[in-house]
Amino acid sequence: KFRDDTYSSELLQFSTLNGIHINGGLSKLVKHFYLTYPVSTIMTYIDLDWTAGNKFKTVGFLPVEIKSPIYFTLNNQTKLRELNHKPSSIFNMGSIKSILIID
């Protein structure tokens, strides 16, 4: 809840099985959510490793911020990724923060 008594929610993940397509699946999910819960906005991060975000744009999400790629190094002892503040060979493509404004 925001100071102006409006509510916002975050869409954390939208995915389908490989090779499965649901016509209008994202728009149906989003519509059902905002009809069920009285929110003013829905925010999401579009992971550029997986998509350019065209489905989100079609549904009405507006880009508000481009998140830069994040670089990592591999810790050879733990085999875990560690944040690296300079370009390296392990990285993600970044993301797009987007918001859907509910009328």
What's the whole-number average pLDDT of the chain? 89
Residue 4 has pLDDT above 80, yes or no: no
Say whether pLDDT at 28 is over 80.
Answer: yes
- Mean pLDDT to the nearest integer, 80-101: 90
The per-residue pLDDT for 16 is: 77
Strand arrangement, sheet containing 81-84? 81-84, 71-74, 90-91
Residue 1 has pLDDT above 70, yes or no: no
Report yes or no on whether pTM surpasses 0.85: no
User: Would you state the pLDDT for residue 38?
Assistant: 87
Q: What is the pLDDT of residues 61-72, one digit of tens each?
A: 999 999 999 999
Rounded Cα distance, 13 and 46, in Å = 9
Name the nearest CA neighbour of 6 among 101, 71, 79. 101
Other beta carbons less than 10 A from residue 21's beta carbon? 7
Residue 10 backbone phi and psi in degrees, to 5: -120, 130
